[in-house]
Structure 1
C-alpha cells in the first residue's frame, strides 16, 4: 500500500502532466488559435489620443539573459493634452454649426442633446490634462514609477541626477511629474531639472532644433484633411438629422475632437459616431501629416534628428564611466520623429501615397508618437554566451516595444554591437549645420548633456498656474 510520502512525491513529478491531461479531457486549448483584426481605436488617433504601447515583434522587453542595462537615453513626448488653439478654432466652428441646427438630434448623434465640450475655455487649449484615467500629468508620473522599477539600479539613491526639458509649459510639467514618479520622496533633492530654450538661436544645442532651409514645406502645406470616407460619414449624419449640413471638413474636426476627448475623460461617445473604416482613414491622414511634415517624407528632418542621434552616439561610446547612466529628456512629438528619420527607423521604402491607404505601412503614428510616446536607447553590458561575445550592445525601444535596428540584430535579444551600431549611424547621419544652413552665430553642437546644472530651483513651479500657453512657463 503506497505511503503518504510516495503519493506526494508522485504528484510532485506528474502534476504538470496531470493538469495538461485534465485540460485535454475538458476540451480546453492551452493556446488560443484566434488572432483577429488587432483593431484598437487608439491606433487610429494619430498623435492625438492617449498613450498606448507599440505593437511589438514579440521580443522581450526585459534585458536579454547575461546582459544588464548600464546606460539609458530616453526622449519623451509630453503627456496627454487638450487640442491646440488652431485645431480648437476649427472644432468650435463645427460645433457651432451643430448647435445652429436647433434640432433634437437623432441616430448616431442622439447623445449630442446632452453632451458638453470637454475644454473649459480657450485658456485650456494646448494644456496638459489633469482629469480622467488618461490624464497627461498621470501619464508622466506613472511612466516615472515604471522606469524607476526598470532602471532604478542605475541610481545610487544619493547622487543628484539631471533631467532635461525643452522650454514649454506642458513639456516641463511632464518632466516634473516623471521625476516625482522616478525619484519618489527624493525628487526635491536628487533631481535637477534643466530647461533648454526652444528659441531657434539655440542652433544645435537644443532638444528642439529647426531647419532654416526647409525646402519641403510646400509638400506639407499641400496636404488635405479630406478622405473619401469623410464624405460618406457626413452624408450619413445629414441623413439622420435633416438640415444639419455638415461636410467632409466638419467630419475631420469632429473626429479630431473625439481623438482628444479621452485625454480629459474616461469615455467618448463620439468614437461610435464613426465606423472603423472611417477611423482607419482618419489615422492615415495623421500618418501623412507626420510623415511629410515632421518625418522622413520631409528630406530635411533627418538632418534635424541627427543632432540628437549624433550626441547620443557620443554618450554611448563614452559609457557611464565617463558620463552618467541616466539621460531623461522631454520634448514634443515633432522632435522625436526627426530622430527616427535620422536613424532610418520605420522609414517606408517609398513615400506614402496620397490617394490610397497602404496597409502594412510601417509609419503608423499611433505606434510612433501617441501622447506621452517615448524613444529609449539602452546600452547593454553583456557577458560571453554561446552565440555572442562579451561587450557593449545597443537596443532601441519605442513605446516599450523593442525595435530591431535596421539589419543589425546579431546581439543578445536582437540588439546591435555598439561598435557596429556606431559605424552604421555615422554613415547615416547628414550634416545638420551645413544642410540646414545654421547661422554662424548659433551653436553647432549639443553640449548640455555634459554641461548642466545640479540645482533644484526648477523642479517645481514657483507661481500659480495661469493661462496655459507660453514658452517660458516654469
Structure 2
C-alpha cells in the first residue's frame, strides 16, 4: 500500500513538472534578431563566464566597438523605409478595418527618422553606459588618456559619449579622430575603405563580392539575397494581400517593416512593427538570416579579403598588449586600455582574422561556406549577425596574469564579444579557454598565413600603402 501511494505521488510530481512549462511559455523577442539594427544586448553566445577565471587578473585590455544606435541607416532609409512610408501615405487602403494592420491608419514616422546616420539620443546613452561598464569591469586599470575613433560624426559622438561614462572628467580622455581615407590602407579604423577588392556595402544589396562557388547558378550575391528574401516574405505577403490587395505588398515592403521595428524602437522606445501578430517568429528569423548571408559573403568568411582587412588590427592589438609596459608612464604605448570606435563593417573582419564564429573549424570540411546555404536557414550556424554586429557591438581582448590550479602561472590572453568569451581556435588551452602567451606568436603567424597580407589580398596600387596599423604606437 505504501509503495502504491509513493508511486502515485511520484507520478503527480512528474505531471506537475511537465505542466509547469506549457506550450504558451514560448518567448521570442524580435529586437534580438534584427541583424545590424539590433539594439545593444549580450547574447551569451556561448554562455561562458565573462568574469576572469579564478586566479586571474586583467592587467591590460583593448576594446573595438561599433558606434551605437542611429536614427536610420542611409541605405535602409532610401531603399526600404522611405519607399514604404511614401507608398503608405499615397495608398487609399482603409487600414482601420484590418485588425492586424489597423495601427497603420494613424501611424506616422517617428520624428528624426529621416536624419540618416545621425546618432540617436538612445545611442548617446548606450555609449555612455558602455563607458561606465568598462570602467567598472576594469577598475584596477588606469583611465586611458587617449581613445581612437573613425571620423564619421556618429562614430565620433559615440566615442565622446563613451568617454563621459569612462572618466569622472571626460576631458581627461583625448578622442583622436582618424580620417576615413581610401588610401590609408591598413593604418586606419576603416581599412576596408582602402582595400580595392573589398566590395561590401552596409550588409545589403550594395554587396558585390564574388558569388560563392556553390551559388554560381544564382549569379551575383545580390540576386541570391533577393531570392532568399522572396522565399521568407512569401507568407506575410500572401497574408497581407488577402486583407489589403490594393496595397500590393512586396518583399521590399516586408523588409522595410522589419527595419522600422528596430529604428522606431530606437526613437520611440517601442514599435507596432515588432508585434508578433504582424510578423511571426519564423518570419523574423528569415529577416535575420537574409542579413546573415549578406554580411557573411560581404564582410565575413565568404569574402576573400575580409580576414586580411581585419588582421592588422589583431596584430597591432596583441603586439601592444604583449609589449613591456611602464606603469608610471602616460605615453600612448604604455596605456592600460586601448579603446577604438568604428563602423559595422570592421568588427566582422576582425572576427574572421581571429577565426571566431566559424562553423567549419569543427566540421573538417574544405567548403567553409557549407554552413551558410542560400536557399534555407541553417539554425545551427555560428555566424549570426544579430550577435556579431548589433549596435555598439564590441570586442574586448584581455591580457591576464594567472596563478590558478591545473595551469602554469603566467600570462594569458582571451577575447570577449559583447561580454561573451570567444575561444580562439588553436590557442585556447589556458584558464577559461584562454591563450597562453608562449603559444600566441605561433597562433598569430598561423592566422596571418590563413588570411594573407593586406597589400597582397587587397591589391593596393596606390603610394604609401601599408600592411600595419600603428595608431597605438604614437
TM-score (ref. length: structure 1): 0.82
Gaps (5+ residues) in structure 1? 1-24, 452-474
* Of 271, 277, 285, the match for 2:290: 285
* Of 77, 85, 93, the match for 1:88: 77
Matches of 2:164 and 2:325 in 1, distance apart? 23
Gaps (5+ residues) in structure 2? 1-12, 200-207, 212-220, 327-332, 361-367
* Of 3, 12, 34, the match for 1:45: 34
* Of 324, 327, 335, the match for 2:338: 327
Matches of 1:339 and 1:162 in 2, distance apart? 22
Matched-pair contact (CA < 8 Å) for 1:64–1:412: yes
Q: Does 1:217 align with 2:237?
A: no
Q: Does 1:140 align with 2:163?
A: no
Matches of 2:88 and 2:444 in 1, distance apart? 52
**Cα offset, 1:70, TM superposition:** 0.5
- What residue in structure 2 maps to residue 375 of structure 1? 395
Matched-pair contact (CA < 8 Å) for 1:174–1:330: yes
Residues 31-42 of structure 1: matches in 2 within 5 Å? 39-42=28-31
Matched-pair contact (CA < 8 Å) for 1:49–1:262: no
Q: Does 1:305 align with 2:305?
A: no
Q: How many residues align?
A: 413
* Of 180, 185, 188, the match for 1:198: 180
**Cα offset, 1:257, TM superposition:** 2.1
Q: Does 1:181 align with 2:165?
A: yes
Matches of 1:126 and 1:41 in 2, distance apart? 22
* Cα separation, partners in 2 of 1:318 and 1:115, compared to 1, 3 Å: same
**Cα offset, 1:37, TM superposition:** 6.3
Q: Does 1:386 align with 2:405?
A: yes
Q: Does 1:117 align with 2:112?
A: no
* Cα separation, partners in 2 of 1:274 and 1:175, compared to 1, 3 Å: same
**Cα offset, 1:290, TM superposition:** 0.8
- What residue in structure 1 maps to residue 385 of structure 2? 365
Q: Deviations over 1:296-344 (max 9, x none)?
A: 1101111101110111121122154463210000001101100000111
Matches of 2:178 and 2:410 in 1, distance apart? 34
- What residue in structure 2 maps to residue 462 of structure 1? none
* Cα separation, partners in 2 of 1:109 and 1:73, compared to 1, 3 Å: same
TM-score (ref. length: structure 2): 0.82
SS at match of 1:116: coil
Matches of 1:28 and 1:374 in 2, distance apart? 43
Q: Where is the helix percentage greater, Structure 1 or Structure 2? A: 2
Matched-pair contact (CA < 8 Å) for 1:227–1:281: no
* Cα separation, partners in 2 of 1:34 and 1:337, compared to 1, 3 Å: farther
**Cα offset, 1:40, TM superposition:** 3.0
Residues 72-471 of structure 1: matches in 2 within 5 Å? 72-89=61-78, 90-105=80-95, 106-120=98-112, 122=114, 124-130=115-121, 135-155=122-142, 161-184=145-168, 186-188=169-171, 190-210=172-192, 211-214=195-198, 217-219=209-211, 220-225=221-226, 226-272=229-275, 273-321=278-326, 323-349=334-360, 350-351=368-369, 352-383=372-403, 385-429=404-448, 430-438=452-460, 439-451=462-474
Matches of 2:230 and 2:392 in 1, distance apart? 27
SS at match of 1:146: helix
Matches of 1:146 and 1:77 in 2, distance apart? 16
Q: Deviations over 1:436-472 (max 9, x none)?
A: 1223323442111111xxxxxxxxxxxxxxxxxxxxx
